[in-house]
Amino acid sequence: MREVPPVEDLGEGLWSIPVPVPHNPIGFTYVYSLSAPGGPVLIDTGWDHDDSWSALVDGLARAGHRVDQVQGAVITHFHADHSGLSGRLREASDAWIAMHPRDIAVLERQAGRDQEERATAMVTQMTRAGFPTEDIDAFRASPTVFRSPATPDLALQDGERVDVPGPDLRAVWTPGHTPGHLCLHLADRELLFTGDHVLPRITPHVGQFPLDAPEGDPLGDFLSSQSRIGRLPDAERLLCLPSHEERFTGLPERARAITDHHEERLARMAELLGPGPTTLWELTSGLEWRRPWEDMRILARHMAASETAAHLRTLEERGLVRRGGSMELPRWATTT
């Protein structure tokens, strides 16, 4: 577990509030509080847990605000470590919650499915990916809880200004990590809140859901978003405030490094596939990961498979890989 850093005054009414994610190696998520007429605006809210809520409330107090004074929160993306406390915040302050419409649509679909339906869908995906029976049984036996954050009130489109007096905070749509991921650009202060799109040391997860989806290209979207964010007019001067790790500069160079990492991964996958045909599980289990495959928990293996699936989808879009097999068990091979 990473040590949670202190609340920090970043000047001119901007505060960094680390909100813990208990019992998770991610450690914490930075929530940013930006002062504005009518009350502070938050960027993200943090994980849904009593300890996380206490950290958010205490952090706001350090910044000179009560939680019931918060007028709204812009959520960079729907993942629970960013959006989990949205409903609790809305109940405590009547704050509006804004998110890109593509991620709002994801939450609306999730809200219509109960725990059992979502678990069944995961099992179906894993079966079609070629996961062995023991992995599927381990998933069924695991105490998996799907958290569904509150559905936002407001849709925030690409380029749209957050509708509060004072700061000129604008949305920059950066799909990939999620379909509606947003960065937030505060141009007059040369600040960019990068969410999970650009992190200073690690590369964010980019996955394909469902694992065997024949449409969409999340990694292709992500790489295009990296190129776009690196071309912002003031990109070289921007101070980047990510949701994890630490603040950084040199956005164009970091965006290129992330892109290079994925291009190397794509080349490695094409090399391993060869003439195939190969199931998603066979390819995923043969790749190198931060942890050895045999030491990975079942949910981590599922995430690894979703990341591999996203890379395969991009290779398909580039005409380098073809999909064959059956609907029940797709297989992939190179086209040459």
DSSP labels, 167-228 = --EEEEE--SSSTT-EEEEEGGGTEEEEETTS-SSSPPP---SSTT-SS--HHHHHHHHHHH
Express each pLDDT in 275-287 by its tens digit: 778 999 999 999 9
Distance between CA atoms of 270 and 289, rounded to whole angstroms?
17
Residue 2 three-state SS: coil
End-to-end CA distance of the chain, in Å?
A: 45
Q: Any residues with CB less than 8 A from the CB of 296 and at least 6 apart, and which?
A: 289, 304
- The pLDDT value given to residue 101: 97
The conformational region for residue 320 under phi > 0 = left, psi -120 to 50 = alpha, else beta, is alpha
Tokens describing residue 232: 């912002």
pTM for the structure as a whole: 0.94
- Most confident option among 69-78, 203-212, 264-273, 325-334: 69-78
Within 10 angstroms of residue 19's Cβ, the number of other Cβ atoms is 26
Give 61-91 pLDDT, tens digit per residue. 999 999 999 999 999 999 999 999 999 999 9
- Regarding beta strands 41-43 and 72-74, do their DSSP bridges make them parallel or antiparallel, or are they unpaired? parallel
Domains of the chain: 8-113+149-271 (3.60.15.10)
Structure tokens belonging to residue 84: 């989990």
Question: pLDDT per residue over 172-201, tens digit each?
Answer: 999 999 999 999 999 999 999 999 999 999
